Amino acid sequence: MDIELKESCGLVGLIGVRDAAIKAYMGLYALQHRGQESAGIVVSDGKELVENKGLGLVNQVFGAPEALRNMVGTAAIGHVRYSTTGSTNFANAQPFTIDYKRGSIAGAHNGNLVNALEIRARMERDGSIFRTSTDTEVILHLLAKSPSKTTPEAIADALSQVKGAFSLLFLTPELLIAVRDPSGFRPLGITKTPEGGTVFASESCAFDLLDLQPGRSLEPGEMIIADSKGNVESRYPFKPVMPSPCIFEFIYFSRPDSRIFDTNVDKIRRRMGQVLAIEQPAEADIVISVPDSSNTAALGYSNESGIPFEFGLIRNHYIGRTFIQPRQAIRDFGARIKYNPVRGVLYNKRVVVVDDSIVRGTTSRALVSMIREAGAKEVHLRIASPPIKFPCHYGIDTPTADQLLASHSTIEESARFMGADSLGYISLEGMLSIEGLPHTSFCTACFDGHYPIGVTDNPNKDKMKNANGAKANASASDE
C-alpha cells in the first residue's frame, strides 16, 4: 500500500454473556487495524446503558484498570474508528448513545452514506440540531423521528431512507440489533457462545480472540435481533438489490487470519499473488513484499513463479499515529521511518516487489529508491489489485481522482514516476475469476468507476460541520 488507505471502522457486539464490556474490549483489540483514531464501548445491565469512549488506541482508552470498572452488564457494543480529514475529535467517537421517546439506544456504524448531507440539510431546516459530523448521528435522528412502534421497526424505517454502505450495531437495555445494508458493502459476522450468547464482529479474528467459532456472515440486507436469553430473530426489511461487497476487504483491509463474507482472507490473497505471477511474470532473483498487507500475496507470487521469497523490507511497528517531521528535510522521511531495506538480501539482486495497491505512488517511489540504494540491480513492481482510478464513496478514505496516479498516467508513465524497471497489475478479470471468491458481484468502483449506488451528496463539498467547526471531506469514509 503506497499510502495508508483508511477503512472506516470495526464493530463488536455481545449479548447474553458475562463481563460483556471486557469481552468487547478484547474484541476491539483484534479489530484495531480497522481504526486507530478512537475507541468506545457501551454496556447494558438490562436496565440502563453506560458509555465510555475516547481518542486513541484501544489500550490507550481502556488500558487503565478503572476504565471498565463501572461497565457491568451482559450486553455491549464496541467501536474503533478512523476519521476523515479534519474530523478527529472526541465528539465523533462512537458508539453514540441517545435518550428518546422509546428509551435509550446506542449505535455504532461501519460504512459511509452517500445521501447524508442531503438528509441532514433537510432535517436542520426542520429544526434538528446536530453535535457531530458523522453519518451515524443522521441515522439516529431518523430513528428518533420514526413513527414506528418498535425499535427494530424504527431502525428499518430510518435505514430505508438512507443510501450507501452501513454495517450497524444498536444496543438498547434489552436488545442487540445488527444490520447490514442491502448491497452488503462492509463485512459483519455473527456467532454464538457455548453458553448461548450472541456475538457480532466485523471480522472473525475478534471471534478467535474470544475463543469462539467463526460463525457466519450476515446476509446483505439482513437484520438480526438478539436478546440476553439467547433468542435470535432474523429479518429482511429492505428491498433486495444486487449484492456488491467491497473487494478491497480481501485486497487490503481485513486481517489475513480473518474470515469475511464467509471466505478465508489468506486463501484469496495468496491466490491473487498466484494470478498476478501468471499475468505479470518477471525475470528476477527474489520476491519481496511491502509488509504487512502484501505478505500473503507475495508468497503466492513466489510459489507460482518459483522465484524465492525473501524479507527485503522490515516494517517499524512502533510508530505512533503522528510523529514530528524534522526541520531539516529528510528525503522520503515518511517511508523511511516506516520501512528499512535489508541490504544483505537486496544487494546485487533483481527484485520483484509485490504490493497490494498503488494510490498516489509517492510511497512506492520512495520504496523503489530505497531498494536501489540498498544495491538492487533491478526493481520490478507487481501489484495484487488493478489500477485504482476512481475514489470510493462507500467507506474507504481515498483521495480525489486527480490525486490517484492511475487515473492520469499510463502504466509506463507510472513506472517511470516511481523509478521501477517495470510495473504490472493483476487484471480486474483475473482478480474476479479467483477460485474461492464468493459467488457475488463485488463492488469494483475504485477500479472501473461503476458505482453500485449513485452519489447524492456532492463529493467536492465539505462534509458536515461538527459543534467545534471541524470539517471532513465528503468523498471519504465518515464512520
Which domain CATH number covers 220? 3.60.20.10
Q: Which of 75-79, 181-185, 299-303, 323-327 has the lowest mean pLDDT?
A: 323-327
Q: Write down the pLDDT at residue 355.
A: 97
- Of all residues in the chain, the percent with pLDDT exceeding 70 is 89
- pTM here is 0.91
Based on the domain organization, do 194 and 299 belong to the same domain?
no
- Name the pLDDT band for 65 (thresholds 50, 70, 90): confident
Determine, yes or no, domain membership for 307.
Answer: yes
Predicted pLDDT of residue 7? 52
CB under 8 A, 24+ apart: contacts of 248-253: 248/5, 248/357, 248/385, 248/392, 248/396, 248/446, 249/186, 249/187, 250/437, 251/356, 251/357, 251/384, 251/385, 252/1, 252/5, 252/293, 252/356, 252/357, 252/385, 253/5, 253/7, 253/33, 253/34, 253/396
pLDDT at position 98 is 96
Residue 455 lies in a domain: no
Mean pLDDT of the chain: 90
Least trusted range by pLDDT, from 4-18, 204-218, 249-263, 369-383: 4-18
pLDDT greater at residue 2 or residue 221 = 221
Residue 249 is assigned to a structural domain of this protein: no
Active site residue: 9, 246, 443, 446, which one? Answer: 9
In a domain, 256, yes or no: no
Do 406 and 297 share a structural domain?
yes
Q: Are residues 174 and 278 in the same domain?
A: no
* 309 pLDDT more than 60: yes
Q: Which residues contact 74 (CB under 8 A, 6 or more apart)?
A: 15, 16, 17, 18, 20, 44, 45, 46, 197, 228
| Domain finish residue from 228, 244, 260 | 244
- Please check the confidence at residue 137 and state whether its pLDDT lies above 60: yes
Show the domain range for 123. Answer: 6-244
Q: CATH number, domain at 406?
A: 3.40.50.2020
Q: Does residue 169 share a domain with residue 67?
A: yes
Kindly report which listed range (73-87, 112-126, 295-309, 323-337) carries the lowest average pLDDT score.
323-337
Answer for the pair 11, 29: CB distance below 8 angstroms, yes or no.
Answer: no
pLDDT digits (tens, 9 = 90+) for 247-306: 999 999 999 999 999 999 999 999 999 999 999 999 999 999 999 889 999 999 999 999
What was the pLDDT predicted at 462?
43
Strand 378-383 with 422-425, pairing: parallel
Q: Among 84-93, 364-373, 378-387, 456-465, where is mean pLDDT lowest?
A: 456-465
- How much is the average pLDDT of 209-233? 97
pLDDT at position 82: 82
Grid cell in block for residue 107: 449505535
Q: What is the pLDDT of residue 90?
A: 87
9: annotated active-site residue: yes
Residue 328: inside a domain, yes or no? Answer: no
pLDDT reading at 326 higher than 80: no
Residue 129 class from Cβ within 10 Å (0-12 exposed, 13-18 middle, 19+ buried)? Answer: exposed
Same structural domain for residues 201 and 63? Answer: yes
Confidence tier at 454 by pLDDT (50, 70, 90): confident
Predicted confidence at residue 473, as pLDDT, reads 31
Q: How confident is the model at residue 316 (pLDDT cuts 50, 70, 90)?
A: confident
For residues 224 and 360, state if they share a domain: no
Confidence of residue 469 (pLDDT cuts 50, 70, 90): very low
User: Which pLDDT band holds residue 331 (cuts at 50, 70, 90)?
Assistant: low
Q: Which of 229, 244, 259 is the last residue of a domain?
A: 244
CB 24 within 8 A of CB 79: no
Where does the pLDDT of residue 46 fall: very low under 50, low under 70, confident under 90, or very high at 90 and above? very high
- The model's confidence at residue 5, banded by pLDDT at 50, 70 and 90, is low
Whether residues 212 and 293 fall in one domain: no
Domain check: are 295 and 238 in the same one?
no
Together in a domain, 229 and 274: no
Indicate whether 476 belongs to any domain: no
Q: Give every CB contact of residue 319 below 8 A, 6+ residues apart in sequence.
A: 337, 338
Q: Are 158 and 194 in a shared domain?
A: yes
* Same domain? 207 vs 240: yes
Q: Would residue 85 count as lying in a domain?
A: yes
Asked whether residue 231 falls in the same domain as residue 356, the answer is no
The total domain count for the chain is 2
51 occurs within a structural domain: yes
- Could you say which of 400, 421, 437 is where a domain stops? 437
